[in-house]
Homo-oligomer: A and B are copies of this chain.
Amino acid sequence: MPWSRIKPDTNEPDFQIEGLPDNRDGRRVSYAEAINEALSQALGLDPRVFVMGQGVDDPSGMFGATRDLHLKYGAERVFDTPLAETALSGVAVGAALGGMRPVYFHNRPDFLLLAMDQLVNHAAKWHYMFGGAACVPLVFWACIGRGWGSAAQHSQALQGLFNHVPGLKLIMPATCYDTKGLMLAAIADNNPVLIIEHRMNFKQRGLVPEAPYTLPIGKGVIRRKGRDVTVVAVSHLVVEAYAAAQELSEEGIEAEVIDPRTLRPLDEALILESVARTGRLVVTDTGWKTGGVTAEIAAMVAEKGFSSLRAPIVRVANPDLPTPSGYTLERAYYIGKDDIKQGILKAVRGA
C-alpha cells in the first residue's frame, strides 16, 4: 500500500511547539523515529519497561515505531504476541500489577475492541476498585489506519469510545516533539494510558531534541494565535486546521488553533480561555461525530463557557458511517482542511 501516494512526507508546519521556542534549527526526525527514540530511551532507562504486541519485531516494526528495538534490547523485552488481544491486554494488566511497565502496541484501534473488557473493566478500574491498593502502569498504543481502502474494520478512529472511560488517560499527539515527550510521560505515569496515533502523522518530520524529556499529560497548546474563532483540533487535524487558518487569514479571519494533545484529562482551561477571547468555537476530530470527542468538547463549552459564546458551536467530524473502501467514497468520507475552513466560516459568518 503506497501510503506515500496518499500523503507525501513533509516537514511539520512552523506552528508553535510549546517548550521548543527557538526550534527552527533543531534536529529533525520522522514521526516514527520520534516514537522509536522514546521507546528506546525508556527501555534503556528503566528495566521495568517492556514492549509487546503483534508484529513489534517485524521488519516494518509498527510503521517504524518499534523497529529494531528487539535487536537492541532483546527478545525478552520486545516481543511479538499471539493474536489474542483480549487476554494479552489482561496479561499487560497483570504484568503491571507485578511491577513491570508494559507498553502494548496494536497497529489499529479497531483491534482494541477486543481489549475493551480488560481496558475498561479492569485496567481503568483496578486502582479505584481496590481503594488505591494497587497500580496499573501501562501504555496501550494504536494507530488509526486511514486510507488506501482500509475500509470499515481497519480505519476507525475510536477515541470517542475511550474518551468516555474514567480511569484511562487518553493521548493523541500531533507532532513529532509531542509524540516523543508524551510517550515518555505515559510510560512514567502510574496509570493506564492509551495513545492513539494517526497514520497521517507518520508522514511528518519534526524538530525533536535527542535527550529524553517528558511533556505534561493534560496540557494543551495553542498552535496558532487568533482573535476571531477558536478551533480545537485533534491529532492529524491540527495540521489541517492550521492550514485552514493560514488560508483564512488572507480573508481577514484569524483563527486560533488549539491542540489539546491529551483528551483525557482535557485542558479545559486553555479552551475556555480561548473561547472567552474569540467567542466562537469549532471542534474537529477524526472520529465519528455523534457521541464522540467533538460532542464532549462542545458540551463542555456550552456548559462552562456559554456566556462567551457569540455563535453556534460548529463540529467538524467524520460522518456517522463506517468507513467505505472505495477511493471516491473515501474522499467523500474523510474530512480535512476544506471542511475545517467551511466550519470556521460557518462559526464566523454563520454560513
Please tell me if the beta carbons of B291 and A322 are within 8 angstroms of each other in the complex. Answer: no
Which of A33-41, A59-67, A110-118, A177-185 participates in binding chain B?
A110-118
- Copies of the polypeptide in the assembly: 2
CB 8 Å contact bits of A158-196 with B (1 = contact, 0 = none): 001101111100000000000000000000000000000
Q: How far is the CB of A119 from chain B (nearest CB, A)?
A: 8
Chain B CB within 8 A of A261 CB: no
Q: How far is the CB of A334 from chain B (nearest CB, A)?
A: 15
Chain B CB within 8 A of A315 CB: yes
Q: From A320, which residue of chain B is reached at the shortest CB distance? A: B166
Q: Which of B151, B294, B302 contacts A129 (CB 8 A)?
A: B151
Q: From A129, which residue of chain B is reached at the shortest CB distance? A: B152
A302 CA to B294 CA, complexed, in Å: 12
A260 CA to B103 CA, complexed, in Å: 42
Chain B CB within 8 A of A92 CB: no
Chain B contacts for A314, CB-based, 8 A? 303
Chain B contacts for A296, CB-based, 8 A? 290-291, 295, 299
> Size class of A's contact patch?
35 or more
CB 8 Å contact bits of A313-325 with B (1 = contact, 0 = none): 1110000111010
Chain B CB within 8 A of A306 CB: yes
By Cβ-Cβ distance, the 10 closest A-B pairs, closest first, are A306-B312, A298-B299, A164-B291, A302-B302, A163-B291, A295-B299, A166-B320, A113-B117, A295-B295, A113-B116
Given contacts A113-B117, A164-B288, A164-B292, 16 further A-B contacts (CB under 8 A): A86-B114, A113-B116, A129-B322, A163-B291, A164-B290, A166-B288, A264-B290, A290-B296, A295-B299, A295-B300, A299-B299, A299-B315, A302-B302, A306-B309, A306-B311, A306-B312
